Amino acid sequence: MKTWKEVTPGAVVTEPGSARKFKTGSWRAAKPVWIEENCIQCMFCWIYCPDMSIKTKDGKRVEFDYDYCKGCGICALECPGKKGKKAIIMEEESK
Protein backbone atom coordinates (compact mmCIF):
# COMPACT_ATOMS: atom_id res chain seq x y z
CA MET A 1 0.00 0.00 0.00
CA LYS A 2 1.22 3.50 -0.87
CA THR A 3 2.04 6.08 1.80
CA TRP A 4 0.74 9.66 1.56
CA LYS A 5 4.10 10.70 0.09
CA GLU A 6 3.73 8.27 -2.79
CA VAL A 7 0.17 8.95 -3.99
CA THR A 8 -0.31 10.58 -7.40
CA PRO A 9 -1.34 14.25 -7.10
CA GLY A 10 -5.09 14.60 -7.62
CA ALA A 11 -5.56 10.80 -7.49
CA VAL A 12 -4.86 10.65 -11.23
CA VAL A 13 -4.73 7.10 -12.52
CA THR A 14 -1.78 6.74 -14.87
CA GLU A 15 -2.05 3.03 -15.69
CA PRO A 16 -4.45 2.39 -18.59
CA GLY A 17 -7.05 -0.29 -18.03
CA SER A 18 -6.22 -0.65 -14.35
CA ALA A 19 -9.92 -0.66 -13.41
CA ARG A 20 -9.88 -4.39 -14.18
CA LYS A 21 -7.78 -4.84 -11.04
CA PHE A 22 -10.63 -3.47 -8.94
CA LYS A 23 -12.87 -6.50 -8.59
CA THR A 24 -16.33 -5.45 -7.51
CA GLY A 25 -18.05 -8.85 -7.56
CA SER A 26 -17.93 -9.03 -3.77
CA TRP A 27 -20.53 -6.22 -3.59
CA ARG A 28 -23.13 -8.67 -4.93
CA ALA A 29 -26.08 -9.70 -2.75
CA ALA A 30 -27.92 -11.56 -5.53
CA LYS A 31 -26.30 -13.55 -8.30
CA PRO A 32 -27.57 -13.97 -11.89
CA VAL A 33 -27.62 -17.54 -13.03
CA TRP A 34 -27.61 -18.40 -16.76
CA ILE A 35 -29.83 -21.25 -17.91
CA GLU A 36 -28.39 -22.01 -21.31
CA GLU A 37 -31.29 -24.17 -22.55
CA ASN A 38 -33.67 -21.19 -22.26
CA CYS A 39 -31.27 -18.76 -23.95
CA ILE A 40 -32.06 -17.53 -27.49
CA GLN A 41 -28.79 -15.50 -27.75
CA CYS A 42 -30.68 -12.23 -28.24
CA MET A 43 -27.75 -10.49 -26.45
CA PHE A 44 -30.12 -8.19 -24.51
CA CYS A 45 -28.19 -9.07 -21.33
CA TRP A 46 -24.92 -8.05 -22.99
CA ILE A 47 -26.41 -4.73 -24.16
CA TYR A 48 -28.10 -3.85 -20.87
CA CYS A 49 -25.33 -4.89 -18.47
CA PRO A 50 -24.06 -1.60 -16.93
CA ASP A 51 -20.67 -3.25 -16.38
CA MET A 52 -19.02 -5.72 -18.78
CA SER A 53 -20.03 -8.84 -16.93
CA ILE A 54 -21.49 -10.85 -19.83
CA LYS A 55 -18.59 -12.66 -21.40
CA THR A 56 -18.83 -13.46 -25.12
CA LYS A 57 -17.23 -15.89 -27.51
CA ASP A 58 -17.71 -15.98 -31.29
CA GLY A 59 -20.52 -13.43 -31.06
CA LYS A 60 -22.48 -15.42 -28.48
CA ARG A 61 -22.88 -14.93 -24.76
CA VAL A 62 -21.16 -17.40 -22.50
CA GLU A 63 -20.83 -17.48 -18.68
CA PHE A 64 -21.09 -14.39 -16.42
CA ASP A 65 -17.96 -12.62 -15.28
CA TYR A 66 -18.56 -12.85 -11.54
CA ASP A 67 -15.39 -10.84 -10.76
CA TYR A 68 -17.27 -7.68 -11.74
CA CYS A 69 -21.02 -8.49 -11.69
CA LYS A 70 -22.57 -6.52 -8.81
CA GLY A 71 -25.87 -8.39 -9.03
CA CYS A 72 -28.04 -5.47 -10.15
CA GLY A 73 -30.49 -7.85 -11.87
CA ILE A 74 -31.02 -5.78 -15.01
CA CYS A 75 -30.03 -8.74 -17.23
CA ALA A 76 -32.60 -11.00 -15.53
CA LEU A 77 -35.30 -8.33 -15.89
CA GLU A 78 -34.59 -7.73 -19.59
CA CYS A 79 -34.15 -11.43 -20.51
CA PRO A 80 -37.05 -12.49 -22.81
CA GLY A 81 -36.19 -16.20 -22.36
CA LYS A 82 -37.70 -18.94 -24.46
CA LYS A 83 -41.44 -19.77 -24.43
CA GLY A 84 -41.97 -17.87 -21.18
CA LYS A 85 -39.01 -19.45 -19.41
CA LYS A 86 -36.26 -16.99 -18.34
CA ALA A 87 -32.68 -17.75 -19.30
CA ILE A 88 -31.42 -15.60 -16.41
CA ILE A 89 -32.73 -15.87 -12.87
CA MET A 90 -31.47 -14.20 -9.71
CA GLU A 91 -30.43 -16.26 -6.72
CA GLU A 92 -29.49 -15.02 -3.29
CA GLU A 93 -25.72 -14.97 -2.97
CA SER A 94 -25.79 -16.82 0.37
CA LYS A 95 -27.35 -19.93 -1.24
Partner 1 sequence: MMGKRIAATGNEAIANAMRIANPDVCGAYPITPATEIMQRFTTFVSNGQVKTEMVLAESEHSAMSACIGAAAAGGRVATATSSQGLAFMWEMLFVASGLRMPIVMGVANRALAAPINIHGDHSDGMGARDCGWIHLYSENAQEAFDNMIQAFRIAEHLDVRLPVMVGMDGFITSHAIQTMEWLDDETGAKFIGEYQKVRPLLDIKHPVSYGPLILTDMYHEYRKAHDYVMSGVPNVVLDVAKEFEKVSGRKYGLFESYRLDDAEVAIVVLSSAAGTTKEIVDQFREKGIKAGVLKPRLYRPFPYAQIGEALKHLKAVAVLDRADCFGGSFGPMYMDIASALYPYAQKPVLVNKIYGLGGRDYMPEQAEYVLNELVQLAKGGEVKSFKEYIGVRE
Is the CB of residue 45 less than 8 Å from the CB of residue 60? no
Which H/E stretch holds residue 33? strand 30-34
- In this structure, how many other beta carbons lie within 10 angstroms of the beta carbon of residue 49? 20
Q: Tell me if residue 78 falls in helix, strand or coil.
A: helix
Touching partner 1, residues 10-49 (CB under 8 A): 10-14, 16, 19
Shortest gap between Cβ of 27 and partner 1 (angstroms)?
12
**Closest to partner 1 by CB, 11 or 95:** 11
Shortest gap between Cβ of 25 and partner 1 (angstroms)?
16
Site for partner 1, rule CB under 8 A: 1-5, 7-14, 16, 19
